Chains A and B, each alone.
Chain A
Amino acid sequence: DAKTTQPPSMDCAEGRAANLPCNHSTISGNEYVYWYRQIHSQGPQYIIHGLKNNETNEMASLIITEDRKSSTLILPHATLRDTAVYYCIVHAGSGGGADGLTFGKGTHLIIQP
């Protein structure tokens, strides 16, 4: 089972910032927080990941709380093309074999015009 909890759906107005929360209270010290999204039935698209520091790239920002038990993905200026299911996934950064990612049900983000 997924180690993360996300709201099933969210709405956001086009042009506004979309803030997607994720709880991962049982995250281990060597686990990173990854965010992917899936548009319709396309392949999951990597967005961003982080360990404990906040991260930013051309797509989004990731804010991780100091205790690492939750995080927020921020899409700064949402467009209609950002409508998708967003998955928050914790994944080990070391040790073990090539484990697969454990997907939950994610958050269906709907951008309203």
Chain B
Amino acid sequence: EPEVTQTPSHQVTQMGQEVILRCVPISNHLYFYWYRQILGQKVEFLVSFYNNEISEKSEIFDDQFSVERPDGSNFTLKIRSTKLEDSAMYFCASSADPHETQYFGPGTRLLVL
């Protein structure tokens, strides 16, 4: 069964460093999403992406974040200058249509020291 994959599974970085989280969505899906979950808190929507541009974004998705689809398979989330409060699980999801089921990847655990 097709699934969303994410790399790395864990990432440790120093405050102020840039990180890139990678996702491979399900192959025939056209809509891609990033969510985050701070430890012990709710899953929060960050951004959705379609046709090489951002479709929707939340207030959390500020100028330090960017998303890109650098090739036909990968979808990335870049955090330019990480802060301690960026420590969280980051989940990628994809869907065939904006109103169809979103399928989630296993997540990347980011720890900012």
Instruction: Decide if the interface of chain B is mainly helix, strand, loop or mixed.
Output: strand
Q: Which of B76-100 contact A (CB under 8 A)?
A: 89, 91, 93, 95, 98-99
Judge if A38 is at the interface, Cβ distance under 8 Å. Answer: yes
Pick from B37, B93, B95, B102: contact of A41, CB under 8 Å:
B37
Q: Please report the C-alpha to C-alpha distance between residue A36 and residue B43 in the assembled complex, in whole angstroms.
A: 12
A97 to B33 Cα, complex, angstroms: 12
Contact flag A97-B89 (CB < 8 Å), given A41-B109, A46-B103: no
Question: For residue A100, which residue of chain B has the nearest CB?
Answer: B45
Measured between beta carbons, the chain B residues less than 8 angstroms from A45 are 104
Which residues on the B side are within 8 Å of A92 (C-beta)?
99
**CB interface residues, A 76-105, toward B, < 8 Å:** 87, 91-94, 96-105
Contact (Cβ within 8 A) B101 A34: yes
Interface residues of A (CB under 8 A from B): 32, 34, 36, 38, 41-46, 49, 87, 91-94, 96-105
Interface secondary structure of A, over-half rule? loop
Q: Is the CB of A103 within 8 A of B50?
A: no
* Chain B interface (Cβ < 8 Å from any Cβ of A): 4, 31, 33, 35, 37, 39, 42-50, 55-56, 58, 89, 91, 93, 95, 98-99, 101-107, 109
CA distance A43 to B42 in the complex (A): 12
Instruction: Report the minimal beta-carbon distance from B111 to chain A, rounded to whole angstroms.
Output: 13
Q: Are B45 and A101 in contact (CB under 8 A)?
A: yes
Residue of A nearest to B101 (CB): A46
Whole-angstrom CA separation of A4 from B101 in the bound complex: 18
Please state if B101 and A103 are interface contacts (CB–CB under 8 Å): no
